[in-house]
Structure 1
Amino acid sequence: MSSIHPTSIIEQGAEIGEGVTIGPFCHIGSQAVIGDNVSLLSHIVIMGPTTLGDGSKVYPNAVLGGEPQNTKHKGGHTTLVIGKNCVIREGVTMHRGTDGSRGITTVGDNCMFLAYSHVAHDCIIGDNVTFSNNVMIGGHVTIGNNVIIGGGAGIHQFVRVGHHAFIGGLAALASDLVPYGMAIGNHAYLGGLNIIGMKRSGMARPEIHNLRHAVRMLFDRSKSIKNRADDVRTAFPESPAVADLIDFISTDTKRAFCTPPLDSAIEISDSDVS
């Protein structure tokens, strides 16, 4: 059975799963779908067509499913879908999609959003993603699986962040970040590879070495990145990780790529990998 505090408002039509706990002063809209074993601590607002996956836990003052902050939105039916086992901390905001675009904002499973972070309209967030405190992402951003974003970082609209990437605290990312990349600075630049993340994911050392050399080739500035991508694919024909990297580079995008500073090159020592 679910437990609903008498001070909370559950509008008629809302779907509440089994084993749900709703604390005091929550407001759940009529189009909300709350999965099984969800915990809403207190003072939480869930608006519009919003789905919250099984086992998720939401902390006070979070607002989920608000209309997009986009002047092109005309009030049409759009949605927010949040996956299973997500932790959504104090003051987090997530907006629905825009009726003139994707129309849906999606968040994967097992994600953690620390206090006052923000997910804008039409974004796609993968699984096992961590937003630290006060992370802000603009509309239409795509975040791959297993990405970690440091506190106070901001990501420009339409930017893509590849899986297993790391974005440093207070970074301002206005360009696509390749899988396994590590972006730091304001504006953010490519400072190397997320070696720690690759180790934690269980990637074999030879694949890490392949990626290290592939990234050096990609960003040596002798040719454009997309032209160098062909050389890298030829140099590492047996590496799935490198193929994944090149597929990301080869995909059409509205943004440039996050690159190293003009006066430096990516340096990753063997001791970083071992």
Structure 2
Amino acid sequence: NKPHPTSTQVSPFETYLILCHSEILAKDDRIAFVYHENYYIFRAILKHMGLQQKMTHCQASKKWENMKKRYKELKNPPEGVKAFPEMWPFFSLMDDAMEGRLEGNAPILKEAEDEKNRMDSQQQVKEREKEVMERERLVLQRERAVLDREIAILDRDRALLEREKATMERERATVEREKAVMERERTMVEKDRDAVYKDRLTLEQEKAKLGRTSAATESTKKIAEDSSEVKESDTMNRKERFFTLFEKLIENL
């Protein structure tokens, strides 16, 4: 398709803006477009003209909105205001676009559609990735819930162990006290045993002393008895000799 004759009198950028949007207007029959539709159109225009590094799609969109506003002001000026549309070099081309006379003259609309399809495909990939991430997040949440329950169980077990440990500590303290009491009692028993041992030694010594004294007494008694027996024997012998002599004397008489 040949470009509109007026397009040679204006800058290429504005011409492409008008031609591309005229195609959209012819298909959609709307003057205002949603943001994401304009986004692909402006990206394609800027890329086609090598301006993607010098201008953003937002700046291009703003320029298009300003052109539409200027066109409306010139096309339908307020009552009492005289307009001069021919003074604006884009009016004729804009008027043809708005009236649908430029259908089929969008040289890069296919690029915009391809860009939109590519971006939609990327968006679908992102959506699928987002769904996968959401499922993974749900799995992680379930695993986190399981871990939280396990942590709660471990906390209860730890609390139980702490209570058991405290009980064991109290029992150990009781055992230590009883052990200390037993140690004191054993010390007292040892002291009593030492005292008994000393008393036994004293008794043994006294017993030995008594034994020696008793032995000496027995020896003295035996000596005395032996001496008494000797004396008695001498006395008896003397008596017997006396009686014998007396008997002999009587016989001699």
TM over 0.5: no
Q: TM-score, normalising length from structure 1? A: 0.18
Which of the pair is proportionally richer in strand? 1
Q: Which has the higher contact order (CA 8 A, sep 6+)?
A: 2
Structure having the higher Rg: 2
